[in-house]
């Protein structure tokens, strides 16, 4: 699918460029496309420089957290919840701990650290699968919650905004938190409806109700604030949470006599190894997106959507952020490329760029997750995994747009 998407960018760009040349009389479109190729290749390297540092930094701190027992404590804390949501998985099965570790890493925004844990969890669940080619209820719930992109600390979004010169990279912290909560809630409820999960059980309610009530109260409080106050609060909480997390990891590590410096270096080396393999993918997608946009193809599509929005009498400022939403289910690298392109063309703190950043932080690469997680264990029949995951994806996009209108309109 990724091969077809990447090829599609170039083929559609070629058709759009020919239309601009033969119909619109603009032969300079080809020069713009070639220039976009080299410009995006240069931009890829610039983005990678910051990506190296960010992944190295956070995987270093995560290693300290692991050795200090923070991640293991989270696994024990959330274990009873997943035991009820996945009744076919025996208590104490290693899959439950691996699932919790995966969600903890996702919540911290460490996508590349979360994937290996998730694959281990999927393999552990596959050991309990009586029909190896068909996804079990537990596997579907795990995958849909993964695809709902529950992210408490969207570090990579902050990084991209920082690289593009945002005065306050954490400005979208609260919008992402609210939008990703919506996508996760819809994903959980859709699976629970299909699988008839007893969400009213006391153990489940003891976990979910305080979180739901807390978020509802928080949203009610936000509704009373002005747009300027909302933006200021978002920036404050983003910076405070990040720094508090660093202090927590290091302090607990020192208290438990973990060699914090050595642990950080070990984790940082892992982050460096992860980051260095990403450059070819970033170059490929950024160049494809750059050519696609330079050809005018994206403008044609967006103009059509914008026209439809105007016919309905709606505010169409969010349309410029839709490229990120449209490609996110297929490719994270393509969505990142669209986000960076939007930041560059519209301005890093423009409404479109803020919406695109919120969408990027609150949605997931649904088809990629399906291919990787189910492909790793040979599952061919996904059952209700795809519709539930796409419903969660749609909820994240809609929530991101609505929240950004609340915060930044």
Would you call 381 helix, strand, or coil by DSSP? strand
Does 2 reside within a domain?
A: no
Question: Binning pLDDT at 50, 70 and 90, where does residue 92 land?
Answer: low
Assess if residue 14 is contained within a domain: no
Tally the domains of the chain. 1
Answer whether residue 61 is part of any domain: yes
Q: 218 vs 36, which has greater pLDDT? A: 36
Predicted confidence band at 112 (pLDDT cuts at 50, 70, 90)? low
Q: What is the pLDDT of residues 291-348, one digit of tens each?
A: 887 888 877 777 788 788 778 877 777 887 888 887 787 667 778 888 888 888 888 8
Instruction: Indicate whether 311 belongs to any domain.
Output: yes
Q: What percent of the chain has pLDDT over 90?
A: 6
Averaged pLDDT score across all residues of the chain: 80
* Domain span including residue 391: 49-284+295-408
Judge whether 5 lies within some domain.
Answer: no
Q: Which residues of 214-237 are buried (b: 16+ CB within 10 A; e: fewer)?
A: eeeeeeeebeeeeeeebbebbbee
For range 68-85, the mean pLDDT? 75
Q: Quick one: CA dihedral 109, 60, 336, 372, positive or negative?
A: negative
Asked if residue 50 lies in contact with residue 241, where contact means CB atoms within 8 angstroms, the answer is: no
How far is it, in rounded angstroms, from Cα 308 to Cα 383?
34
24 located within any domain: no
| pLDDT range class, residue 165, cuts 50, 70, 90 | confident
Q: Please, which pLDDT band fits residue 255 given cuts at 50, 70 and 90? A: very high
Residues 6+ apart with CB under 8 A from 363: 149, 183, 325, 328, 329, 393, 396, 397, 400
Identify the band that residue 398 occupies on the pLDDT scale cut at 50, 70 and 90: very high
d(CA 43, CA 275) in angstroms, rounded, equals 16
- The answer to whether position 7 is within a domain reads no
Ramachandran assignment for 201, one of left (phi > 0), alpha (psi -120 to 50 degrees), beta (any other):
beta
Q: Is residue 44 part of a domain?
A: no
């Amino acid at each position: 699918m990724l091969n077809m998407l990447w090829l599609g960018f170039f083929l559609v760009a070629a058709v759009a460029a020919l239309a601009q040349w033969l119909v619109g009389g603009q032969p300079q479109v080809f020069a713009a496309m070639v220039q976009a190729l080299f410009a995006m290749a240069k931009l890829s390297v610039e983005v990678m420089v910051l990506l190296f540092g960010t992944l190295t930094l956070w995987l270093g701190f995560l290693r300290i957290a692991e050795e200090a027992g923070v991640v293991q404590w989270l696994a024990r804390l959330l274990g009873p919840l997943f035991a009820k949501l996945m009744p076919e998985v025996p208590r104490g099965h290693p899959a439950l701990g691996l699932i919790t570790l995966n969600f903890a890493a996702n919540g911290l925004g460490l996508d590349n650290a979360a994937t290996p844990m998730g694959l281990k969890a999927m393999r552990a669940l596959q050991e309990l699968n009586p029909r190896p080619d068909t996804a079990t209820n537990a596997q579907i719930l795990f995958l849909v919650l993964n695809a709902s992109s529950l992210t408490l600390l969207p570090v990579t979004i902050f990084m991209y905004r920082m690289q593009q010169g945002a005065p306050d990279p954490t400005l979208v912290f609260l919008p992402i938190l609210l939008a990703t909560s919506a996508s996760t809630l819809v994903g959980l409820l859709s699976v629970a409806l299909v699988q008839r999960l007893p969400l009213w059980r006391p153990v489940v309610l003891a976990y979910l109700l305080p979180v739901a009530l807390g978020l509802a109260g928080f949203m009610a409080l936000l509704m009373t604030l002005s747009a300027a106050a909302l933006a200021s609060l978002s920036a404050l909480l983003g910076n405070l949470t990040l720094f508090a997390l660093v202090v927590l990891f290091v302090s607990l590590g020192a208290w438990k006599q973990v060699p914090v410096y050595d642990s950080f270096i070990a984790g940082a080396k892992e982050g460096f190894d992860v980051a260095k393999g990403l450059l070819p993918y970033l170059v490929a997608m950024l160049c494809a997106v750059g050519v696609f946009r330079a050809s005018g193809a994206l403008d044609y599509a967006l103009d059509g959507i914008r026209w439809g929005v105007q016919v309905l009498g709606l505010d169409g400022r969010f349309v410029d952020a839709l490229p990120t939403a449209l490609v996110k289910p297929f490719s994270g690298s393509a969505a990142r490329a669209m986000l960076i392109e939007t930041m560059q063309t519209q301005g890093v703190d423009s409404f479109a760029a803020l919406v695109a950043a919120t969408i990027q932080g609150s949605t997931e690469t649904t088809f990629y997750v399906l291919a990787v997680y189910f492909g790793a264990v040979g599952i061919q029949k996904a059952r209700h995994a795809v519709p539930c995951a796409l419903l969660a994806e749609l909820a994240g996009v809609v929530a991101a747009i609505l929240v950004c209108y609340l915060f930044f309109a």
